[in-house]
Amino acid sequence: MSPTAGYEVLWTTTALEMLADVADRRIRQQLFDTSKRLEVDPEKQGKPLRNNLMGFRSLRVVGQRYRLVYSILPDARLVHIVAAGLRREGSRDDVYELAQKIVRLGLAPSIKKAKRVDRTDRPRKKK
């Protein structure tokens, strides 16, 4: 097994509810199948998010319209999917708006430990 392989992908209860809310079962299946890709090199997939979702990443799915929002805990080799849904910019039910609410309500797994590890790995001021 390579050093970057072997992450366990876990869906939060909220993300599973969001997945169940997707009406088309084929799209639901594609979202779930795409989440399995995160078992290998989740850091190299998707894009890092900014502002209120800093520390999370987003992966495009199903014709670029749907997104998976996830966090990575590298020490524990875990990927937590915290939101899954349709990208609707400007809408209240946009997946990023919903993900921000999830984080604000404390329903997303803590990523503070992962951030602390990243800082110790790359000391910038000591150089």
Rounded Cα–Cα distance for residues 92 and 90 (Å)? 7
Helix%, strand%, coil% for the chain, nearest 5: 40, 25, 35
Write down the pLDDT at residue 125.
45
Domains of the chain in start order, with CATH, are 8-120 (3.30.2310.20)
Confidence (pLDDT) at 62? 84
Look up the pTM and report it: 0.80
Place of tokens 């921000």: 100
User: What's the CA gap between 5 and 17, in Å, rounded?
Assistant: 28
10: enclosing H helix or E strand: strand 8-11
pLDDT along the chain (127 residues), means of 10: 71 93 92 93 93 94 91 92 92 91 86 40 44
